[in-house]
Structure formats: structure tokens, C-alpha cells
Amino acid sequence: GQEIGVGNPYVSGTLPTGERFQGVMPPVTAQPAFTIRKHAPLIYSLDDFVKSEVLSQKGAEVIREALADKQNIIIAGATSSGKTTLLNGCLAEPCFARDRVVILEDVRELQCSAPDCVPMLTTLTNPPVTLADLVRMTLRLFPGRIVIGEVRGGECLALLRAWNTGHAGLSTLHANSAQDVLYRIEELVGEVSAVVPRRTISSAIGLIVYIACGPFNEIGRRVTTIVRPSLDRAANEYLFEEIDL
């Protein structure tokens, strides 16, 4: 239902077969161009990541323990680093079968086999339904875990508040390093709030997993850093406990 033309020279969406589509045309580009992002045909478990040397055995154990303890996890990395694939691997863990899992996305990419799973999508209706709107709706659905495919705007503050009220969850975020994640979150929160609540940010996130691209293995990706963030309240500065992988 979206129209593309000189006045609206781009379009995002999902193809009928499920692939993610992004197209642009003049005057944004010299000629029309588009990208189709195909989903992985199989869900890779954390054990599969270990076998392919994307994740160390110690890293898998740390992530599993955090998931079982219902700690909130941010998976960070660059574009196409494998954040969503790793998030799908986390959703395949048996501990999710015991909870109502609410998944919020702009485009459907996440898969969860939990018996009680509620996937929700933003819409471009008038008025539009945003990720922030979905987070607010989710709190009325008695969620056990709240999962956002990717935080990229002001919905980050609503998610942090939800996570801080006892609702465990996961999300992905674009960032240059594990330590950069909290400062990136500050930028996103700053879009909707004049006050950046460092205490709220640090207490909401239990684990940060950073996945990088490079000549590491056949897949070219590796989880290079896992940290537990905290806050030095006296100095109001973030602290990062890096896990030895």
C-alpha cells in the first residue's frame, strides 16, 4: 500500500515470501536501487554458534545463565554482523517455553517456538503504530519476556522502564563496541527525554553481547566481547565487567 515517487523516494517492507525489502530512487540516488535481505533458512542454536566458532563455550554458558535468570540482554554490533541471527538463537533456548514471549518488530525477522508467543508489528496506518506504542500495549498483555528486534529511537526509554518493572527481555542495537552500547542508549533516550537516567539504564541491562565482523572463521563473525554493566553512583560513571571468553 505504500507509494513511491519523487515526493517519497524510498520504500521499506516485507515481500510476500518474508524477505526484507528496502528500495530507493531519484532524487535520493542517481538511479533506482534496492536490497533484499533473506532470512536464514534454519535457526542456529547457541550450540551451533559454538561449533562454527562464532561463540566460545564459555560465552554460550554465560548467555544461557543470563537467559535462565531472566536478565535483560542487549546484542550489539554493526549492520549485518549477525545480531538478529544470534537473537533467534537465544529465543530457541528451552527457558522461553515457560513464559509468554511478546516480540515487537518493524519487519518480521524473529522466530520463537514458545507455546505462548505474541508477535507484534508496527504499522504505517494513520495514525501509525510505533515501537513505543507497542511497548505500552505489551505491558497490558502480561508478558513474561519482552523482545524488540532492534531499538533505534525513543522507544528505548519505554523499553528500559518496562525492563525495570520486572519484565525480562532482549533486543539488538547498532553500536561500535560493547562499552559503546550504554552511550548509544543515552543518545536514543535523549530523543524523547531531557534527562538521561543513567541509573535506569545501568540497572535495566544485565548483559551486553557484542558480535563483530572480520576474518575470524568461515562465517566471518565472532562474539568478541561480553560485559556486565553497572554504575558507580558516586561518580555517576558506567563500569563494565568484561567476561573472560
Of 11-25, 57-71, 144-158, 168-182, least confident by mean pLDDT is: 11-25
Over the stretch 101-153, which tens digit does the pLDDT of each residue have?
Answer: 999 998 888 999 899 999 999 987 889 899 999 999 998 999 999 999 999 88
Distance CA 135, CA 81 (A): 26
- pLDDT of amino acid 2: 76
Q: Answer yes or no: are the C-beta atoms of 208 and 186 closer than 8 Å.
A: no
What integer is the mean pLDDT of 77-87? 93
Other beta carbons less than 10 A from residue 19's beta carbon: 14
Please state the pTM of the whole predicted model: 0.88
Over the stretch 150-203, which tens digit does the pLDDT of each residue have?
Answer: 998 888 998 998 898 888 999 999 999 999 999 999 999 999 998 888 999 999
- pLDDT of amino acid 41: 72
pLDDT at residue 219 above 80? yes
Residue 218: exposure state from Cβ atoms within 10 A (0-12, 13-18, ≥19): exposed
